[in-house]
Structure formats: C-alpha cells, structure tokens
Structure 1
Amino acid sequence: MDDDEYQKLIRRMNPPRVVIDNDTCEHATVIQVDSVNKHGILLEVVQTLTDLNLIITKAYISSDGGWFMDVFKVTDSDGNKIIDEDVVNYIKKALETNACFLPTLRGSVGVMPSKEHTSIELTGTDRPGLLSEVCAVLADLHCNVVNAEIWTHNARAAAVVHVTDQSTGCAIEDPKRLSTIRELLCYILKGNNDLTSAKMMVSPPGVTHRERRLHQMMFADRDYERVGRAGLGVPEDKSPRPQVVLLDCFEKDYTVVTMRSKDRPKLLFDTVFTLTDMEYVVFHGTVHTGRMEAYQEYYIRHVDGLPISSEAERQRVTQCLEAAIERRASEGLELELCTEDRVGLLSDITRTFRENSLCIKRAEISTKAGKAIDTFYVTDVSGNAAVDPRIIDSICRQIGQTVLRVKRNLSFTPRPQQETTSGSLFGNLFKARRLIKSYS
C-alpha cells in the first residue's frame, strides 16, 4: 500500500467531525472542524465556507501533529447567524465530505468532463477598453458569454470566460474554430506593447474553480512584481497597500506571517490559497476582522518542514501575499446590470462603458434562467473611483435606469427613474434586436 492509499485509509477510519453551534456566540455561528491532518485541508474548509457566501469573522487554526482542529465564527452576507436548519445541515455535510475526500489542489482542475460550455483563459497587459474588445471579438465569432470573471492588478489582466456556440447553445469543440478564436483573442491581448506575455488557452473539459485559476494565472504572469509600465496607458495604482510582515520564531522553528488590510469578503480564502499553492503549511493561526480592518497571523513552514530561510524567499512570499489581498479589492464604482440575456449583450454594455471613458477593473458575469446578472467595478481613465456623476447618469439613461444601477458609491446618488425618449434609447435597441431575431 502506497503512502497516498494509507492516508486515505486513515482518513476513512477517522472521519472528520463538524460541530455547528449557535448558542456560544451572540453575533455569529461557531463551526468547529476536527479531522485527520493533510496538506491543503485548511484551504478546503475555507473554500467550502466561502463558496457558500459565508463571512468568516474570526478563525482559530491548529494543525500540529497529525490532527487538524479549527474553529470559525461565521455569519451570512447580512451579518446574521446561520439559523436555517437546511443550511446548517448542508454546511455540516459539505465540510464532513470535503474535508476528507476533496481532491488535491491542482487535481481540482479539469477532473470531470463537461459539454455545457468552453472555458477560455486569458492573460495580458491591462488597458482601457480591453474587455470591450475581447467581448466584441467573441460576439463576431458567434460565441455567447454565459459566465465570466475578470481581474486586473498591477497593469495585468486575467479572465476566465465560459462561452457557448450561439446556434447550438453547447460547448465549442471544433479544433479549427477554437484555433481561430485563439488567434484573434491573442491579437487583441497583445495590442502594441505585450508581444510576448499575452496568453489565451482553452481549459481542459471539466470543473474549474475560477477564483483558484485566476490567482494561479495572475501568479504565473508575475503580477506581484511592481514593475513600471510607462506608456501602456494604465494608471498607477495609488490605493493603500496591505501590511505584510514575516518574522522568525526560532524557539518553535516557524516563520510568523502577520497581515493587516482592509476587510472584505473572501479575504481569508485568498491568503490561505496563496500560502497553500506556494506549498506552505499553516500550523497555527488566528484571524480577526473588525468594522474596517482584518488581522491575520499564521505560523508556517514549507512542506519540506523548514521555515523561510532566505531574504529572497521572504520578499517573494511578502509580495505574493500583498498581491493576493489586492487582486480582488473593489475600489472602483460598483455597477450592477440585470436584464434579459442575449448574444452580444456584454459586447454592447462594455462598449458603452468604453465610449464613456470608464475602465473596468473587475467584473463578474453570470446568466441565470435567461437573465444576465453582471457586476462591474469601474473607474475613470485616471484610475479614480469617484467617477463624474454626470457620466454615470448618462450611461444609466442610455442603458436604462431599471437595467443598470449604481450598487455602491458614496459620492453618487442616481436620479429618480424617468421614462423619456433618450432614457429608453438603449432599451429600445435591445427590444429591436430581439424582435429582428424572432422574425428572422
């Protein structure tokens, strides 16, 4: 019996135990996970909670020896305890299953065949209008974007886009057509200044955790290196930097990592994923979140059992954790789109943003039951989140006040909804295209 089979046997003989308590803490649900220890188990538990859109307010981590014992205080997205019995039972079942039998980190990419869509991964130099150009190419090639997530950081851009064939609604499998898509998208991504690092690939068929892939793609593109990119048309990032400090703990032979940053959803997932993917093990740790700030402290070693020993390694880990915290930060104006889905919708929306001098810093694209539900984080061309209210008002009137709304912006209050000829122009364009399609 090899080591892997032996570890599986041990885990089956000692299945994880999950206790969910709503009585101990006044403001949060307490989840305790006890399990046989293995590399990556902390990430698996954190990912399970994060994928359920739970907010982890505090965490206490201990995995010395052969046992893993963690306590998490969580709430729902509204800050309430998890009291729905069905949800509680689902969390317990998911954690008891996933903590024992989830595949390894890299084995989670492309493990199950799927014919529903084609997954396209893109990386390149960020610039104003890039997403609009990509969406226009996909629309011209009769590809319908059903889901996508786009991140930008340190003048780099990465995207995972799920597309289907416009005529069949299924995945695109023809090698010649995929080659054409790859060639045209790479041409767009390269632009005039990125002749070597622009990449486009079709993921192997299967289940890919998009956020893991985006982190890995950004890391492979070395976005953690703050290199000056003068002349690329990308504004300098002036947002406050997270504080990441690495210290030696000689008594216990650990490296102590402390992080202070602005709190946000999925922050714990991003930092734990980065440490795990870089092959570090968290032996002990605490996480505390306040109204504005999050504090994380981890005692780590490399999987070979050694703490960080060189200044170069220390600097690289620091840079990578800073990048992991910053990639998903949403400093831009948050716009939410909700309307009937159709082929070319995303191309039209992103073109409107580009024509009104808005830069998309991050985006989450999804379709559910024939509805497009998209979230965009935008700035002006100078990188300022305080976009001119007149521009936003104009865009909302073009697209439709009920279609696009400002979800989060302290400096802008949208005007009351008005049905005018100019206000419904873009909406009428949507209707006209649907009518043409229905009569064709």
Structure 2
Amino acid sequence: MQKVCWPYFDPDFENLRERIYGPTCRVSIDNESMEDCTVIKVDSVNKQGLLLEVVQVLTDMNLSISKSYISSDGGWFMDVFHVKDEHGNKIGDQRVIDYIQQAIDTTKETLSSSSPSSPTAKAKVYTNSTLLLSEHYNEHTAIEMTGTDRPGLFSEISATLADLHCNIVEAHAWSHNTRLACVAYISDQRTNTQIEDRSRLATIADHLTMVLRAKSTSGSPRATVPNQQEVKASDLQGGEGMTTNVERRLHQLMLSVRDFDEPASESSSPIVMPMGLGPDRNGQNLRISIEEWNEKGYSVVNIKCKDRRRLMFDTVCTLTDMQYVIFHASAFARGGYAYQEYFIRHVDGCALSTEGEKDRVMKCLEAAIERRVCEGFKLELCANNRIGLLSDITRVLRENGLAVVRADVETQGEKAVNAFYLKDTSGNEVDMEFVERIKREMGPINLAVQTETKRHGLAEKPNTPFSSLGGFLKSQIERLSHNSIAIE
C-alpha cells in the first residue's frame, strides 16, 4: 500500500509574526499630539471585517470620526482615527479610553467566532414569504420584519404586538424608498421572559404578516415589494454595542428588500432629490463615483456628502456586507462635508468588472447614506413603561397626520425612552412653527423636539392637524396618568 505523506507544519510558525512584530493587535490612544481631537492607532493582523469592527467600537461610544487613514495590504492592518466626543472635544475620561482599548483588543477574538454580526451569519436572510420565529435573544424574543412601508405601519405593528400580550422591550425601525425594516425585542407580558411556545410564535407571525401585507387605505397607488413582507427570528447578540449591531442588521435588511431601487410608482414622477440630501445653498449634492486603478487591481470608490455622525460606519458596513474588502481608505470632514475614498476588491480578489456592478455599489452606498437622514423633526418622550404604551403613542401620532419614518425605542429600567422621526403623511414639509406650538402646549411635560431638516418659506396652514397635536397628546397623557402611568 502506498504510504500517504502529509506536509509538515512547524507549530511555532503561527506565532512567528507575533514574535517578530509583537502582539497581533496593538492599540495606542494619543491625547497629546493633536489639540482638538484624540488620535487612535490600531496595528493588527488583518481579517475580513476587522475595519468594520473597529469603526463599530468607536460609534458605540458615540465618537465622531473627523479623519481616518487605513491600510491593510500584506496581511497587516494599520489604521489611524482622529476622533471627538459628542461635544466635539478630546476624550477626557480615562475609563472611556480604557474601554476603547480593551474593546478593540478583543475584536480579533470576535471575528474568529461565529458572531451574529459577521457576514456569514447573514448570508441568506430571506428566501420566501415563510415566517419564522425560532431563535431568542437572551430572555427576549428578537423579531425582524421587512415589507412595503405605508403611513401608520409602525403604529399597526406596535398595536398588534400589544393585542397579542407582548411587551416591546426595544424596537428600531427604518423607512426608506417605501421599504420598512424593523427589529424588535419582545417578551411575554405575564412573565417578562422570552416566548417559547411554538404555537404562540406562529400566531404572532401570522398576525404580523397580515399587518405587513395589508394594502394601503389611502386610495393612492403604491409600489409593492413582492415576496418580501417578512417576519423572522433574529440572532443578534446582546451586551455592549447592541444598538450598533441592530443598526448593522437594519442595513442588511434594507439591502435585502432592495431599498436602493426607486419605487415603481415614482418611475414616471419628476426626479426627487434623496430625503435630506437635497441641494444646499451651493447647489451641491451627494456624489459617488467609482474609478479603476488597473496597475494595482483596485476599484476606487469616492464619496462626497454632508457630514454627520455614524457616516463612516454606514459606508464601511455596506461595503463589507456586500462582500467587498477595503484595502486602503482615507476619510476626512471639511466645511460640513465628508470626503471618503475606498480602495476595494471583491472577496474573490477581483475589482469591479462591469458597469452594472459599479452602478449597484453606488446605489447601495447612496441608500446607506440616506437611510439615517430624515426630513421633518425628531420627537423624544420618556414615560414609565407598560404594555401598550408604544401602541398608544404611535396611534396618537398617526391620528394627527404624522408618519414615523424612523424609530428608536428602548427600555431603561422602569422607563421607556422613545425617539420618533416624523413627517406629514401628506408628503408636505412640517412647518416648525407648529412644532414649537406643540412644545408650548405640552407645558411641563418632558417632550423634546429637534429639527432634523429645516426648510423656510412655508406658509402656515390654519386647519392643519398639527395645531391641535399638543392638546391631543396632552389629553392622551392625562388619560394614561389616570391608569397610574406617569409621563415625565
């Protein structure tokens, strides 16, 4: 019998790089070199997705990245970030510095395990219209939903879960190009634990499916997203950074329902600028271009758009989840605009080869940038949590002609903290004079209203529903107070 020989590998070979270069991940945080920002340097053995993990750590801490240089050729990842805190200052808290260093040090371990935020965990999100609720997130059941958006849909989802005696512990929803993606964490109303009864899960799935597939009652034709009204269990991981992981999942879900495609109903309409990214006073808009660097085999992606928080996370997340590897990159902000340049190849080692592929990448990046930018205003409300609270609040907003285009709902102890990004359901711009009137009518109640996109020159409409929204909300809050629900 012929003897089979296997190649010999020296067991010390895997540790050779570490012996030569030191630890496989080195993080240095410098607060002295720059006057107005903290400099974070990362040197590490490179792995696909490492850049996204590092950027995610920084965005978890609500840091803004004003400048960045990235290089990951030759199997080694080197990166420099210039970051500022939420107040535009250096990082002054040593505990934050220690946490960032520790979190980045552990990203290599996270990437080597099958974490839910890895690209392989989301390879096949949906294949048909079958609804599945089979996995749980800690003590809560995590549900993902996608479908065609319509005014009041998020309110209907909240009401359905309340009717089914489900407590919404946390929920995040995005709407873009008539598509909706929502991730919600629910628990049993009676036990406040995850729902394990298979028949009950099937009932929840059936009811949510009917809500997602219901036709618009407005009478106007709407674009549909065939076979993509979905409800599915989520395996998102918890712990620190959970919100950012949810945001990555929302990007993936919106990508799965092709929100980068313009709705069919708008194909014959005049060209409308992307929401929140219309012409500024200089007439400049979002610009994305892709060029070829044939000598090195890279495709070079250039992005120019209005600067905002989490922008780099959104673009890096999209390229990573589309299975592109970022080898080099540079990013900086100037004069309210962000400029990003990425040198990429597909995971198979090839540059973008066709115009169709380039066009798709540009559309997906454009959609990723637009998803967070909402016209209208942001409303924040804090209340003692109870079953049906979210349903009550969203119903009031819907009955007063306001559509939720984005929502972030979280439970902090006994409190429910709700943030809604709202627009007029008729498609008109919201006159901020009416918003200010709402704040005055709410009196001592802690209602925060923040303008997301402010337009001037709008005439006041005397019969608009916003004129009575403050009083209506106040009456609803008083009714909730009679049920021992305090609103701050």
**Interval containing the TM-score (normalised by the shorter chain):** 0.7 to 0.9
Give the direction of change, closer, same or farther, for the CA distance of 1:423–1:184 in structure 2 (3 Å limit).
closer
Q: Secondary structure at the match of 1:434?
A: coil
- How far does residue 434 in structure 1 lie from its aligned partner after superposition? 2.7
Q: Are 1:106 and 2:115 an aligned pair? A: no
Amino acid of the structure 1 residue aligned with 2:364: C
Q: Contact between 1:55 and 1:74, CA under 8 Å: does it hold in 2?
A: yes
Q: Secondary structure at the match of 1:251?
A: coil
- How far does residue 99 in structure 1 lie from its aligned partner after superposition? 3.8
Q: Are 1:25 and 2:50 an aligned pair? A: no
Structure 1 partner of 2:447: 404
Q: Secondary structure at the match of 1:229?
A: helix
- How far does residue 371 in structure 1 lie from its aligned partner after superposition? 0.8
Structure 2 partner of 1:197: 228
Q: Which stretch has the larger CA shift, 79-88 or 387-396?
A: 387-396
1:146 to 156, 161, 169: 169
Structure 1 partner of 2:203: 180
- How far does residue 185 in structure 1 lie from its aligned partner after superposition? 0.7
Q: Secondary structure at the match of 1:223?
A: coil
Structure 2 partner of 1:267: 311
User: C-alpha separation between the residues in 2 aligned to 1:160 and 1:132?
Assistant: 14
- How far does residue 243 in structure 1 lie from its aligned partner after superposition? 1.2
Q: Secondary structure at the match of 1:308?
A: coil
Q: Which stretch has the larger CA shift, 220-229 or 178-187?
A: 220-229
Q: Are 1:226 and 2:262 an aligned pair? A: yes
Q: Secondary structure at the match of 2:228?
A: coil
User: C-alpha separation between the residues in 1 aligned to 2:80 and 2:179?
Assistant: 36
Q: Are 1:304 and 2:348 an aligned pair? A: yes
User: C-alpha separation between the residues in 2 aligned to 1:107 and 1:263?
Assistant: 30
- How far does residue 227 in structure 1 lie from its aligned partner after superposition? 2.9
Q: Which stretch has the larger CA shift, 193-202 or 263-272?
A: 193-202
Aligned-pair identity (%)? 45
- How far does residue 228 in structure 1 lie from its aligned partner after superposition? 2.4
Structure 2 partner of 1:434: 484
How does 1:310-349 map onto structure 2 within 5 Å? Answer: 310-349=354-393
Deviations 1:372-424 (A, max 9, x none): 111111111243443464367458747x7524221336579xxxxxxx99885
User: C-alpha separation between the residues in 2 aligned to 1:394 and 1:377?
Assistant: 15
Amino acid of the structure 1 residue aligned with 2:58: L
User: C-alpha separation between the residues in 2 aligned to 1:370 and 1:156?
Assistant: 32
Q: What is the RMSD computed on CA atoms of the aligned residues?
A: 3.1
Amino acid of the structure 2 residue aligned with 1:150: A
Deviations 1:140-190 (A, max 9, x none): 111111111100111100000111111111111111111111111111111
- How far does residue 100 in structure 1 lie from its aligned partner after superposition? 4.7
Give the direction of change, closer, same or farther, for the CA distance of 1:149–1:101 in structure 2 (3 Å limit).
closer
User: C-alpha separation between the residues in 2 aligned to 1:143 and 1:202?
Assistant: 15
Q: Contact between 2:137 and 2:234, CA under 8 Å: does it hold in 1?
A: no
Q: Contact between 2:396 and 2:473, CA under 8 Å: does it hold in 1?
A: no
Q: Are 1:282 and 2:326 an aligned pair? A: yes
Unaligned runs of 5+ in 2: 1-6, 123-132, 216-223, 279-284, 457-469
Deviations 1:303-350 (A, max 9, x none): 122111111111111111111111112333011111211111110110
Give the direction of change, closer, same or farther, for the CA distance of 1:373–1:327 in structure 2 (3 Å limit).
same
Q: Contact between 1:16 and 1:100, CA under 8 Å: does it hold in 2?
A: no
Q: Secondary structure at the match of 2:434?
A: helix
Give the direction of change, closer, same or farther, for the CA distance of 1:358–1:423 in structure 2 (3 Å limit).
closer
Give the direction of change, closer, same or farther, for the CA distance of 1:125–1:387 in structure 2 (3 Å limit).
farther
Q: Contact between 2:274 and 2:370, CA under 8 Å: does it hold in 1?
A: no
Q: Contact between 1:60 and 1:287, CA under 8 Å: does it hold in 2?
A: yes
- How far does residue 15 in structure 1 lie from its aligned partner after superposition? 2.1
Structure 2 partner of 1:367: 411
2:250 to 214, 227, 251: 214
2:106 to 97, 110, 134: 97
Q: Contact between 2:441 and 2:471, CA under 8 Å: does it hold in 1?
A: no
- How far does residue 238 in structure 1 lie from its aligned partner after superposition? 4.9
User: C-alpha separation between the residues in 2 aligned to 1:185 and 1:369?
Assistant: 27
Q: Contact between 1:397 and 1:422, CA under 8 Å: does it hold in 2?
A: no
- How far does residue 11 in structure 1 lie from its aligned partner after superposition? 8.0
Unaligned runs of 5+ in 1: 413-419, 436-440
Give the direction of change, closer, same or farther, for the CA distance of 1:61–1:115 in structure 2 (3 Å limit).
closer
- How far does residue 128 in structure 1 lie from its aligned partner after superposition? 0.6
Q: Which stretch has the larger CA shift, 289-298 or 167-176?
A: 289-298
Structure 2 partner of 1:438: none
Q: Secondary structure at the match of 1:44?
A: helix
What is the TM-score of this pair, normalised by structure 1? 0.88
- How far does residue 291 in structure 1 lie from its aligned partner after superposition? 4.3
Give the direction of change, closer, same or farther, for the CA distance of 1:133–1:258 in structure 2 (3 Å limit).
same
Q: Contact between 2:136 and 2:233, CA under 8 Å: does it hold in 1?
A: no
User: C-alpha separation between the residues in 2 aligned to 1:8 and 1:433?
Assistant: 64
What is the TM-score of this pair, normalised by structure 2? 0.79
Deviations 1:62-89 (A, max 9, x none): 1111111000000111111012111111
Give the direction of change, closer, same or farther, for the CA distance of 1:266–1:9 in structure 2 (3 Å limit).
farther
User: C-alpha separation between the residues in 1 aligned to 2:292 and 2:82?
Assistant: 28
1:51 to 60, 66, 70: 60
User: C-alpha separation between the residues in 2 aligned to 1:236 and 1:356?
Assistant: 26
User: C-alpha separation between the residues in 2 aligned to 1:20 and 1:187?
Assistant: 51
Give the direction of change, closer, same or farther, for the CA distance of 1:34–1:77 in structure 2 (3 Å limit).
same
Q: Contact between 1:35 and 1:68, CA under 8 Å: does it hold in 2?
A: yes
User: C-alpha separation between the residues in 1 aligned to 2:440 and 2:265?
Assistant: 33
Give the direction of change, closer, same or farther, for the CA distance of 1:422–1:276 in structure 2 (3 Å limit).
closer
